[in-house]
Amino acid sequence: MLGSTHGTLTSDLRARVVACGEQTGDAVHETAAVAVAAGETDVSGQPLYAPVPDLDRFFRPASVAVVGASDSDGRPGAGITRQLVAWAEHVGARLHPVHPSRPSVYGRACVRSVRELAAPVDLAVLLVSDPLPVIEELAEAEVRFAVAFASGYAETGPEGAAAQARLAEAAERAGVRLLGPNTNLNAFERFRDDLQGPAVALITQSGHQGRPVFALQELGVRLSHWAPTGNEADLESADFLSYFAEQPEVGAIACYLEGLKDGRSFLLAADRAARRKVPVVAVKVGRTETGARTAASHTGKLTGTDAVVDAAMRQYGVIRVDGLDELQDTAALLARARTPVADGVAVYAISGGTGAHFADLATAAGLRIPRLSEARQAELHQWIPPYLNVANPVDNGGHPVGDERGRKIIDAILADPAIGVLICPITGPFPPMSDRLAQDLVDAAETTDKLVCVVWGSPVGTEPAYRSTLLGSSRVATFRTFANCITAVRAHLAHHRFTAGYVSPFDEAPRTPSPSFRKAQALMRPGEQLSEHAAKQLLRAYGIRVPREQLVTSAAAAVRAAGLVGYPVVMKASAPRLAHKTELGLVRIGLTSASQVRDAYRELTDIARYEDIDLDGILVCQMVERGVEMVVGVTQDALFGPTVTAGLGGVLVEVLNDVAVRVPPFGEDQARAMLAELRGRALLDGVRGGPPVDVDALVEVVLRVQRMALELGGVLSELDINPLMVLPRGQGAVALDALAVCR
């Protein structure tokens, strides 16, 4: 038991939590490559690193076999074959049509089966309704990758899922990496090769949902890859995410995800991107019950509890957006923008109303719009009339057209050290002023490391200032709406804050069980809910403080226990499978005398007999007051496994629903971030004259519960510490009640 020595923290805290059991001797962490080769896993048996698949020959094959190739007009395969022929010619790949009865397709000689291919083939595109027999032949032809275009698999129900499993097993036996089924050929689109700069790589589980991002090329944004993953029988989104994170030309990864095949695989891939500082932007459907149900019918995979998915993405810096327009604009900005030199945003507008409107929206979204210094304002008033506000937003009353004042205004704002981003909302074209303003912004952007953004609000979008001047610049980020600009800029600043301090939690995840685990094993009862007394013993095994208490089976023993524990006391019934004791009248608090204790014992045992509850005894507990009631627990998620929850506790926990969740492993920074997310976070700092509570002790409990989740996740279905009384600063935290359910 820890007692209440919680005064020191940070490096001390992690040391104490590790001392709760682990003694691995791992002084130096192995590199990811060595760890993968060694098959290194955490204490729960989950992998700590994931290999990066070599997908070079998938995206840039030297030779392609098209199985089921056709050139018959009106046949679906003919259009696809024609697309592949054109694509192969463009990238310089040899294309081999395969058809059992056709001598040639589009002037190219056919072979009857992949067995007859004369040379090894990098990629086979399977345009047949039943790809299973073909996959079984691919090993003989030494084919490395295959795309199964056919549908009718896991998206259709149990029978389709079984057929998909057989497809995956056949690919594994053949040594072939399989994309699909239920996919398309977006990977083999004609990408523009005349665009420069960092590129966006795209992952979509539904091909059509990637079209807006693919169209970024028409706005001058380079696209390097497109992975349409479909049902993910083998290759999954995480494989492509890991691969793209390692490609030097990729500046950002855009994802449209309907479901995740494996939670840990996705987190390892996101971790790789975070280590490489490659931003990942994702639309993940399934926020609502309807969306989740539709996604399951489309891809046949778990969508995951949305709150857990959201938290997991946030842990690893994945930027989650809602719309495809946001995905497009945010990915484009993150791919091209440089590292911010400051987080202050300046708003430069030709109208006071426009500036005020934009500033309201930006501030509400969490962007910082600092007031410019008096000296900077005086400088701006050299070129802007004194009756206009230049504190930020900067209102110029109309951008100067006939001289150099406009450019000087922009340069002066960008020169302010507090400003890292300049945003100019142009609500509509107003030539020649808007034309000159656009050109001045482009020219200024070429001379600064700071981010320059323009919102071109015209619904037409055909104006030369927009089409030629703004879109012709790779240094100006151009948007069509206020909201998308704010979303993208916020994501840009947040991504760089996140990666600047990122430390992978997988590097420090425990590898071996602790002594606490061995103690806990003896307490577990498979398939049962533990009594409160046993659940508290489980907490004590992991160094989580519980009140002084004794389990008694007679009124006389209860009186003796109360004397040892110290008045006032709390008395509670203790039994396996007993929850909601308060509702059943099985709790008595504030008992101050032996007679009250004897009476309470008789009352509690009488109620238990009436309710047919098989007691293991009555708990006589120390009464703990003067703190904030919190809840900390473990639940099982179908996608990610055990998760840790923390929030405001007590009897109103289900009403308030003010909780935050994280997926282990995570460090102290994420434990603190959980608390920062709570709507009632201010309670921990003291309200209405109350003292601040021991947040350090609360963080320590969260980390110890995480250790329990990692070590006991296979045998612990649920853990609920409620309330966890967090005492005034320096006095610790005490688990007043606990519920534990074994698997």
Residue with tokens 């966006």: 200
CB 619 within 8 A of CB 572: yes
Q: What pLDDT, on the 0 to 100 scale, is given for residue 290? A: 61
CA distances 436 to 74, 353, 637, Å, are 52, 21, 56
* Interval 11-18 mean pLDDT: 44
Asked if pLDDT for residue 299 goes beyond 80, the answer is no
pLDDT score for 7: 34
Instruction: Give the tens place of pLDDT for each residue, 331-351.
Output: 999 999 999 999 999 999 989
Rounded Cα gap, residues 90 and 184, in angstroms: 19
User: What pLDDT, on the 0 to 100 scale, is given for residue 291?
Assistant: 57
**Distance (Å, whole) CA 371 – CA 418:** 9
Whether the Cβ atoms of residue 232 and residue 205 lie closer than 8 Å to each other: yes
Sheet holding 394-395, edge to edge: 394-395, 344-349, 419-426, 451-456, 476-479
pLDDT at 740: 93
CB-side exposure of 468: number of CA atoms within 13 Å? 6
Contact 433, 398 (CB under 8 A): yes
21, pLDDT greater than 80: no
Report, as an integer, the average pLDDT of 441-450: 96
Can you give the length of the chain in residues? 743
Return the pLDDT at 292: 61
The pLDDT of 643-661, averaged and rounded, is 86
Would the pLDDT of 303 be above 50? no
Across the range 55-63, mean pLDDT stands at: 95
Q: Higher model confidence: residue 532 or residue 289?
A: 532
259-to-238, 308, 699 alpha-carbon distances in Å:
11, 13, 32
pLDDT one-digit tens code per residue, 351-388: 999 999 999 999 999 999 999 999 999 999 999 999 99
**pLDDT for the residue numbered 293:** 58
CB of 509 within 8 A of CB of 665?
yes
Residue 432: pLDDT band (50, 70, 90) is: very high
Rounded to an integer, the average pLDDT of 446-472 is: 94
Write down the residue that tokens 């005492």 correspond to.
727
- Per-residue pLDDT tens digits for 238-271: 999 999 999 999 999 999 999 899 999 999 999 9
What is the average pLDDT across 58-65? 95
| pLDDT > 70 in the chain, percent | 92
Q: Give residue 300's pLDDT.
A: 46
281 vs 212: CA distance, rounded Å: 14
Residue 653 has pLDDT above 50, yes or no: yes
Q: Is the pLDDT of residue 36 over 70?
A: no
pLDDT for 74-133, tens place per residue? 777 888 999 999 999 999 999 999 999 999 999 999 999 988 887 889 999 999 999 999
Q: What is the pLDDT of residue 208?
A: 84
Name the nearest CA neighbour of 440 among 392, 405, 486, 393.
Answer: 405
pLDDT at 139: 83
pLDDT of residue 22 exceeding 70: no
Per-residue pLDDT at 693: 95
Q: pLDDT-derived band of residue 626, with 50, 70 and 90 as boundaries?
A: confident
pLDDT class of 15 with cuts at 50, 70, 90: very low
| Residue 9: pLDDT over 70 | no
Average pLDDT over residues 215-231: 94
Positive or negative CA dihedral for 27, 32, 34, 36?
positive
661-672: average pLDDT: 95
Burial 536-559 (b: 16+ CB within 10 A, else e): bbbbbbbbbbbbebbbbeebebbb
Integer Cα distance of 280 and 334 in angstroms: 9
* Mean per-residue pLDDT over the chain, rounded: 90
Q: What is the pTM of this model?
A: 0.90
pLDDT value at residue 415: 96
Query: 694-726, pLDDT tens digit by residue?
Result: 999 999 999 999 999 999 989 999 999 999 999
- For the cut 70, the answer to whether the pLDDT of residue 500 exceeds it is yes
Q: Say yes or no to pLDDT of 28 above 50.
A: no
Helix (H) or strand (E) segment spanning residue 242: helix 237-245
pLDDT over 50 at 34, yes or no: no
- State yes or no: pLDDT of 17 exceeds 60: no
